[in-house]
Structure formats: structure tokens, C-alpha cells
Structure 1
Amino acid sequence: MRKVLVIGLLLTAVIYILPVFCGLLEQEEPLSIPQESVAADAEITESPPAEGEQTVTDESIVANGEITVLVDGEARTMKLEDYVVSVVAGEISPDFPTEAIRAQAVAARTYALYKQKTGRPAQHEEADVCDDPAHCAAFVDLKTEAAARWGEQADTAQDVIRQAVEDTAGQVLTYEGEPIVAVFSSAAGEKTERAVDVWGSDIPYLQSVDSPGGEACPKYYDAVVLTADEIRERAAKTLPSADLSGDPSGWFKASERSEAGGIVRMKFGGVEVKGTVMRTLLGLNSTNFTVKIDGNTLTFTTTGYGHGVGLSQWGAKYSAEQGQTYDEILAHYYPGTTLTTISTE
């Protein structure tokens, strides 16, 4: 549905505002975690489309097999499947179960195709997508970065990632015949967030669903400690109309939470502010937070890591460990969508 695609396009500038994948270490590329053991699935075989899956050749959703990517400021045209390999390498650990990696591959491919079809943004008019996870998605050039990323396990890690992409080659998620805005984040809370609660636009397939397993993420629970003066300094730049005089206990009023627990909007210094704005202002892992005030020291405790909409990577890990297949995982996190096979040649 074109309307849904247009609405979704408006979200892309903020979809990846903060890192989506939960790392065990702080890194410049926080969409990866150090590897302790990587095991490839030697029994993977190709299979025909499952029952309920479509094979589509309609011109409206068939890719031309290539995509232009802005990498380190340089526009590169490459095969779509090669791009998906680089995104999966940046977005999810090869240590995760195979079915979770396959789910990530489909989501990454779908999002790339969606971006390509909706037109190049002002941020990079020379390319369909970029390597900035704050705008599009993470990107790892395996030719130059694999060894530094995974050390002695680099070959095995690459094999796992490439196999997952190959197993799902050409598969995307569609809604009413169009590729969806297949957003994902590291670890949702007990439920995923609705798009309307995070970005203000209701997307039929981005609704709140149960998402167990996120608590395994090392950053699922986190705390940020700030002084009253630090908050005043930050707010002065982005929310100058907020009245942050007096005792901090009077700053936070009338918060509205989503079904998943995230703050949709709240009164901050007498000004109504969106939860996403507060998350950015305070440097929090999610909008699902509480505050404890001790004099001039404020402690913000968060649950979940990322915006929480769509696929939860740690939720996918848990689901795969419980025996679910990647198509079942995708159907759960993007309800009402269809797994579609397109031509990428």
C-alpha cells in the first residue's frame, strides 16, 4: 500500500537514531558483539518456497539486482545480496542461532529494497542507502574488516553469515504487494513497541507483540546517572522552553506509557515532550525508563535496548533456541506480512 510506504519513509530519518544491536563491549560500531564461539550449520540445504509463501515477478517489487551504497563517503554500486551480507555482519552476531541470522537477513534485505524503491533521501542523494546505522543500517566490508572484527574466527563467522543470506536469497517481506519498513532493534522489552507510539504513524504490521528473551542482552537493564545541572545544560540546547528551575522532583509530570511500557510522551519542565526526545536528550537505551531522584542526582533506569519496534534481535535468538524457524519468527514480529521471493538477477 503506497500510503503505508510514504508514511514509513517519513520514519527512516529517525528509525536508527541510536544503536540497535546490543554489544558486550563499547565500540565505535555498537552493532556487534565479541565472539567466543561460532558454529556453522553444515546441514543447511536449499528448499522451495514454503506453503503460504509467494514467488513474485511483478515489476513493482522486483529489484534490479544491484544497490548503490554510500560507504565511507563514497558511492558504491554492488549486488543486493552482497550488501545484505555486509549488513547482517554489522547487525547481528554470527554466534546467534542460524534461524535468527536468517530472519535478520530477510529483514535487512527487505529494508534495503524498501529504501531503494522509495527514493534516495537528501542525506545521500547519490546512493540508495548508507553505512551509517544512525540513518540506514550498519555495514561491514568483510574484505577489509573481518579479521579485525573476529580475529581467528573470521573465516567461520563469514561462512555463517554468507550461508544465512544464501539460504534466504531473494526473500523479502511484503504487505499488500509492497516491501515493508522492516525495522529492527536489539532487544525489545516484554513486548515490542507500536510504530505509532514511537514515531506517531500507525503501520499495520508494526504492532506490539510479545517478545521474550530480551533480558539475555547485557544491556537489557541499564542505568544513566546525571546531575541536575547536566540535565539543565542538555535541555537548554533542545528544549529551551522547559522550566528546570527549583527541585528536580517537580520536573517530571504526567507521563503516558505505551502498551509495551515505553514513554510515549510526558511533561518535562512544564513542556509536553515525546519519549523518543527524552531518550535522546538523556542518552538512554530505550524509552522504557523510570527516574529516581536523590537531591541533585537523578538515576534513569531503562528496560530494553533500542527503539523496540519490529524484529527484536535477542527475541529472535530466543525464539530460534525454542525451535522456531526464521519464517515463523518474521511472521510473529511483522504480523500480517507475506514472505515473498523476488528476482534479484
Structure 2
Amino acid sequence: MNLKLFSLISSDDIPATKLQIKISGSLNAFTDDDVSFKRFSSLKEMFPSLGKALADSELIVIAVDPKIYVRTKTLLTKALSLDIEENPTVKKALGRAAEIPESQKLLQSQMPKGAVPFLTRDGVNSGFVISKGHQQIMYLPLDDVRLDTVLRNGVIPYLTSGETIAVREEAYAPKNATVKPSVPPKRQEAPAPEKAAQTPPALPESVGEVTSKTVNILRESGSRVAVNGNQNSEYVKSFGSVSPDFFEFFTFTPHVEDKGDFNVTDYTAQMAKSAKELASADFGACISDICNTDGCSYICIAVAGESSAIVRKLYREPDEKDESFIRDAAEELIELIGEKASGESSVGIEISGEAAAEPKAEKTPGKGKKVLVSILVIILALAVAAGTFFLVKYQRDKKAAEALANTAPETTSEETTVPPEISKDTVPLSVFMRNEAVNGIDKDDLARAAEDTANAASQGDNAANANVVPEYIVLNGVKTEAKKALAKIVAADVDDSYNSEAIKADAVAVYTYLKYRNTNFNVSGLNAAETVSDNILNAVSEVFGEYVVYNGQPAFTPTFKLSAGKTTSADVVFGNSFPYLKTVDSASDKNADGYKTEITLTSGELKELANKFDSSINLSGSAKDWVKVTKHDGAISTGVGYVETVNVGGKEISGYKFACELLENKIPSYCFAVSYTSSGDTFKITSYGNGFGVGMSLSGANKMAADGSTYAQILAKYYPGTNLS
């Protein structure tokens, strides 16, 4: 396919290079052409190159900065002499974005007549493809929050099958829309594997037995499998020659090369999951390239189901040829698919599963089959959490097979490296975050994480990877399935009345903080609910594994109950500055229950509290001068805001210490004002909101969700400048 890629970028505020690489990677499977972008700063600058591309290119991709996305779409449509119309599918998606003015919704929903839309979750900055003559023009957003959805649900399915996932779901096909790509995707041409110069050799009898067995299992269960179409998948595809019904149950999806920071094990699992989602299949599968580490060659195979993926790592035998090694791994993959489809417990480890399968020895294959024997490597807790499980394969003759059949492979049961109980008291999440922001990460959790890492390293396991989604979280000393543990923390923070999008936003914020702590998901001293509703568990499950990033790293994502109408900067309350924890408007909080709290103290009561807090504080002389707020952020007015410092009897202390320690939490917020009435010799302390006021207001998030915002939009508002990963 003759392809040209243009990007239109108006500023340096977006991660343009990263987003362009994502688009290039998605298109790489469909063309042999150069898939690098040519960058422009204006339409005027781009038009000469676009005119040339219209004369000789089959597909033109134009990726545009979100700041100028809508305006450029309108100008480009006019420049290409295309009619513009309101797209009903995009309009329906935009209906959920209540915070967007109707005039903007109209502009967002307009596309060239006959365009096939590539929907984003909220409809905002949706992409599209339109035919003009013999060309197809794709218009895509360089939007870090929305691009993945456009590629996964739009671009790749369209180039593969001529339809998008969103179009299938909406059962909507615009009139005059071209729904078939002009050229078949490159991967459909079934090239020979790059690493094997020759066609795969004739298949042994064992392949037919394994393949036929798996096909029968798929037929009986009514299941379909999608295999990631990388170069080694050709060996899997070749097995179709021994089973006439093979391609009724197996399909092959385009391969998008985007390893990021994943290790090979996790990447293979991710590719299997992507194949499943791309083809809407019951299972996804992937066989990796041959990898080399420390003089050893291995291949990873993975099969992904609805909520987990089984991964195996297979080592090359001495002097084994590439063709034989890849074919044997492909045969092992076919067998693993059958095990997964039949519900059998499989040798391997389940990544991100509801419950990991307990490792077991693989059954010795029958006579006449090349034997792959799995020797389980000793694994500690960190290795399990990282989803790394090693298997060694080697050949042996009948006599060796009989000897091994009577010898069980060496295994160890899963070890828990933490004590069964934590003696320390638990605190609410917001207090927990504040304490660690000021005092540092809990030393016990850090020690346990270091012990986990050391144990894993002693086994030669480098599975500690920041991108690994945990299978378990050690919560207050109890090893708990990760989704359930996260849901327990969230359920202690919000209740079942919250909108699901607000619950998702909180779940992402909590998960992000657990990653930010970098303690291998060991956390102690944190409030957690005993029971979790289905509503909260389902919301948590939908976003499990997503987290907020800033400059490529997990962000510090504090939450609290209710703001004073605005959030405040981290440096006001915590004393630490974060670029994305600044003042954010949250005006709806002013209408929430519990927004304003007033307490009255006599001068004697205040003096008693002050002396209890610090006996050196001298409250004497005129009481009206005892307490003075000396620095605040003006969240309410020029005279009232989140308090940074307050002078008590000539001694300056933080607003936190005054509210939390001196007043013993008698007010719920650190946005407060103090006044004195001489007639009654009393102090009135008025506070606004509930909590520290830094990060995401849960009340504000719930109101945004009720008004139609998605969890991604909520997080983008309260943590400006961050992205979802």
C-alpha cells in the first residue's frame, strides 16, 4: 500500500513523537512503505505536500494536534471540496459529554459526508477515513488520552476487515461510505518467517494429533481463537494443512510492534490479549520471536482468555535449528489453546487473572510425539506477581521418557514474604497519602519490597517491571487477589451511591498511588472495606491496570472527599510541589452536603487545647490576638483559603497542625477562617470542604460523572498535564 503520513502540530505541549510512533506502529503491518511522519506547523505549509500525495498515494494519514483538531477538520474538508455533515454515531457518543457546549458538540460531530468514523470513548476528537477518488484519507487525533481507542477500535479493524468495532456495535454504515480498504493488508499475504529462510518442513504426525484435538475442543465449546500475526505465527498457520476445519476456529490478526518497556513474557501476553480484542474472539494467542539472553535462546507462548493470560517460556535444545524450535513452540501453543479452551489447569502462570492457576507438572505426551517436558523453576512471590514462569524443554527417547515419568518435577509452593498480620492502626486513604507525602513511604513496606526483590534476584528473576500488572496485592499483611484488594481500598473511600465513572476515576487514582509508592504492591496501615459491592468491583475491574503518568512515570495522585470550591496546590498543605497538583476549579462542591462546618470554642477551651498541643505556647493578653492566619491560598476569598501557616500565641505552625493536631480534628478541612467575639469570649472557626484539598475531589468527580464525564476526563481535570497509561 502506497502510504503518506503527515502531522500538523501547533505547539510542543503534546508528546508528538510518542503518538506518531503509535500510529506508525499500527500501520506498519499494512505496508512495506516508509511509515515515518512529515511534520508541519500549519495547513498552508502542508498543502503542497498533500497535493502531491493526492496524485500518487493510496492512503494519506493526517494526524493533528488536539488544540487545532476541530478547526483543521473543517478547513481541510472545505479545501478538499467535500460535503460536511453531522455524523450520527459521533453525535450519540458526544451526548454523554455534558460539560461540552452544544455549539462545540456540533463542530465535533461534523465530518465529511460518507466518512467512516473512528470513535473515541466520549466522541471528542473522533477520527475518520474518507475516500476521495482512488485515495483514502485518514484523519486522526494526536490526543494522548484518546488515540489508543481510535487505533484499536477504528484504524486497525478498518484496515483488516473494512469495518470498525464502533460501527459494528452501532450497526451504522454511512451512505456512500467505502467499507473495504483499497488494498488487502500486507499481513494477509502470509510471508514466510524472516528467521527461517525456507518454507517450514513437512509436519510430523504429532502435529496433526494435537491440532485435531484442539480443533475438536474449540468446536465443542463453540470458541474461536485469534492469533497475533507476527512472523512466527506462520508456523501456527501451517498447521491448517493437517486439519480441514482449522480456519473455521482460527483467525490471524495484524501484528503491531510496540514493545514499550514490557519484558518478553508480559509483551507476549499483551499481544495475545490484543489479538483477542481485535478479532472479538473468545481467546487470543501469541508466539514470540526467538529471544536470546545470557547465551540461552527461548520463545514465549501465551493464550489469553477473558480476564487472564497463561504464559510459557520454552528454551532451545542444544544445536536445535530455528525451524524445529519454532515449530515445536507452535505445536506447544496449539496444545495450550486446547487446555485453556477446555478449562484445564495449565502449566504456566496466569497474568492478571482472577486467580492464578497453581503450577503443576505437565503430563507426559503419548508415544510417537516429540516430548516437551516442563521443569518448574522455583518461584517466589514477586515472580508470581510479575507473571514470569520458566519451563525447560528437551528431547529424550522412550527409555528416558519412562524414567522421567516416574519422577515429579521439582516445585515449590508460593511463599508469602510478609507476616500474616499488621499490628499498626489503619487510616483513611487521604490521611495515608498525606502522611507519606510528608514523612516518606512506609519503611516496613519498603523493607518487604526489598526482600521480595532480593528473593526474586536470587532465583535469577528480573521480573520486577514497572509495567507489570500485579496478580496480588499484599494489603495489611494479607495476600489478596489484586482486583479485590484494590476494590476494598476504593470501597473504603467511596460508597455504592457514587457514579461508576467516579468510582473508576478513584480506582485509577488509588492504583496509580500504589505504583507510585514502588513497594511491589505491599501496603500496610490503610483502611479497607470488609465487603465490596458488585457495582464497585465491576467498576474497578474495568479500569484495572490503568494509571496516571507524568513525564512517563506514575504520578502522585491524592484524593479527598470535598473541596472548598477549588482544590489547592500540594505545597500549601504537604510542603512538596508537584506540577500537576495545582489549584483546580471544583465549584459543584459548594452545593454538596457538609460543605461548611462551624465550631465555637471559649478562650479557655482554646487555651487548654493549645497547651496540650505545645506547652510552650503562651496565650496571654488580648484573646483577639491569640490566633492569626498568616498565609493561605485565597480559595474562598482574599481573606479565606487553604491555610499554609497560622500564628498561635506568637508561634507559627502549619494549617495542618492547627486543624489536625491542636484542634484534634474538630474541623474536617484545612480551608478555614478564625474569628473572635469579645462579648462571648469565644472563637468561631469556620471550615470549608472536607479533606486536604489536594488532587481529586471525590464529590466533584461524582458530579462530573453524573453530568456525563468519563473517568478519563475526570482524571485529566484534577491532575492537569498528566496522561493515562
- What TM-score does the superposition give when structure 2 sets the normalisation length? 0.35
User: Which whole-Å CA distance do the structure 1 matches of 2:467 and 2:591 have between them?
Assistant: 37
1:218 aligns with 2:593: yes
Q: State the match for 1:104 in structure 2.
A: 506
Which amino acid is 1:213 matched to? Answer: S
Query: Residue 290 of structure 1 aligns with which residue?
Result: 673
C-alpha distance in 2 between matches for 1:279 and 1:300: 10
Q: CA deviation at 1:131?
A: 4.8
Any conservation in 2 of the 1:194–1:207 contact (CA below 8 Å)?
yes
Name the counterpart of 2:529.
140
Flag the 1:231–1:238 CA change in 2: closer, same or farther, 3 A. Answer: same
RMSD: 2.2
AA matched with 1:196? D
Q: How far apart are 1:254 and its partner, in Å?
A: 5.2
* Contact 1:190–1:212, Cα closer than 8 Å, also in 2: yes
User: How many angstroms does 1:272 deviate by?
Assistant: 1.2
- Deviation, 1:89, is 1.1
1:273 Cα deviation (Å)?
Answer: 1.3
| Corresponding residue to 1:327 among 705, 712, 716 | 712
Displacement of 1:330 in angstroms is 0.2
- How far apart in 1 are the matches of 2:691 and 2:668? 6
Q: Secondary structure at the match of 1:139?
A: coil
Structure 1 counterpart of 2:509, which letter?
A
Counterpart pick for 2:654 among 258, 263, 274: 274
In structure 2, how many angstroms separate the alpha carbons of the residues matched to 1:219 and 1:130?
A: 30
How many Å apart are 1:111 and its aligned residue?
1.4
Specify the alignment match of 1:67 in structure 2: 473
**2:503 and 2:539 in contact (8 A); partners too:** yes
- Please say if residues 61 and 178 of structure 1, whose CA atoms lie closer than 8 Å, have aligned partners that are also in contact: no
Correspondence for 2:492 among 90, 94, 100:
90
1:168 aligns with 2:575: no
**Is 2:629–2:643's contact at 8 Å kept on the other side of the alignment?**
no
Measured in 2, the distance between the counterparts of 1:169 and 1:201 equals 28
Contact 2:145 2:723 in 1 (8 A): no
Q: Tell me if structure 1 keeps the 8 A contact 2:586–2:700.
A: yes
The 1:79–1:57 alpha-carbon spacing in structure 2 relative to 1, beyond 3 Å, is farther
State the distance in 1 between where 2:467 and 2:613 align: 40
Aligned twin of 1:78: 480
1:317 paired residue number: 702
Judged with a 3 Å threshold, the aligned counterparts in structure 2 of structure 1 residues 64 and 225 are, in CA distance, closer, same or farther, namely same
Aligned-residue offset at 1:180: 1.5
Work out which of the two has the higher radius of gyration on C-alpha atoms and give 1 or 2.
2
Q: CA deviation at 1:224?
A: 1.6
- How far apart, in 1, do the equivalents of 2:579 and 2:634 lie? 16
Measure, in 2, the Cα distance between the counterparts of 1:106 and 1:60: 16
Contact 1:223-1:302 at 8 Å conserved across structures:
yes
Find the residue that maps to 2:653 and give its secondary structure: strand
2:608 to 222, 233, 237: 233
Report whether the alignment pairs 1:263 with 2:643: yes
Alignment-derived partner of residue 130 in structure 1 = 524
5+ residue gaps in structure 2?
1-120, 122-143, 150-257, 263-464, 636-640
Listed one character per residue, the Cα deviations across residues 255-281 of structure 1 (whole Å, up to 9, x for unaligned) are 211143211112211111111111112
1:177-212 Cα deviation digits (max 9, x unpaired): 221221100001121010011111111111111112
SS in 1 for 2:506: helix
1:51-109, Cα deviation, whole Å (9 max, x unpaired): 24599654234343222111xxxx11122211111011111121121211111111111
How far residue 229 of structure 1 moved from its aligned partner, in angstroms, is 1.9
Q: Cα 1:63–1:169, aligned 2, differ >3 Å: closer, same or farther? A: closer
SS in 2 for 1:91: coil
CA contact (8 A) 2:502 2:711 kept: yes
Instruction: Tell me the distance in 2 between the aligned counterparts of 1:238 and 1:52.
Output: 53
Query: Which amino acid is 1:190 matched to?
Result: G
Preserved CA contact (<8 Å) 1:63 1:113 = no
| Alignment size in residue pairs | 262
Q: Could you say if the C-alpha distance between residues 189 and 323 of structure 1 is closer, same or farther in structure 2, counting changes exceeding 3 Å?
A: same
* Corresponding residue to 2:146 among 43, 46, 51: 51
In the TM superposition, residue 321 of structure 1 has moved relative to its aligned partner by 2.0
Q: What one-letter code is carried by the residue in structure 2 that aligns with 1:286?
A: S
CA contact (8 A) 1:131 1:139 kept: no
Distance verdict in 2 for CA 1:307–1:101, change over 3 Å: same
> d(CA) in 2 for partners of 1:61 and 1:88?
22
CA offset digits 1:160-190 (Å, max 9, x no partner): 1011111112111111222122110000112
1-structure distance, mates of 2:145, 2:676: 54
**Identity over aligned pairs, percent:** 31
Looking at structure 2, the residues matched to 224 and 253 of structure 1 have their Cα atoms a distance apart, in angstroms, of 17
Q: Which amino acid aligns with 2:671?
A: N
Inter-partner Cα distance in structure 1 for 2:555 and 2:583: 16
Match for 2:466: what amino acid?
Answer: S
Q: C-alpha offsets along residues 24-60 of structure 1, whole Å, 9 cap, x if unaligned?
A: xxxxxxxxxxxxxxxxxxxxxxx8x962459965423
Partner secondary structure for residue 598 of structure 2: strand
How does the TM-score come out when normalised to structure 1?
0.70
Cα gap change, 1:254 to 1:298, in 2 (>3 Å): closer
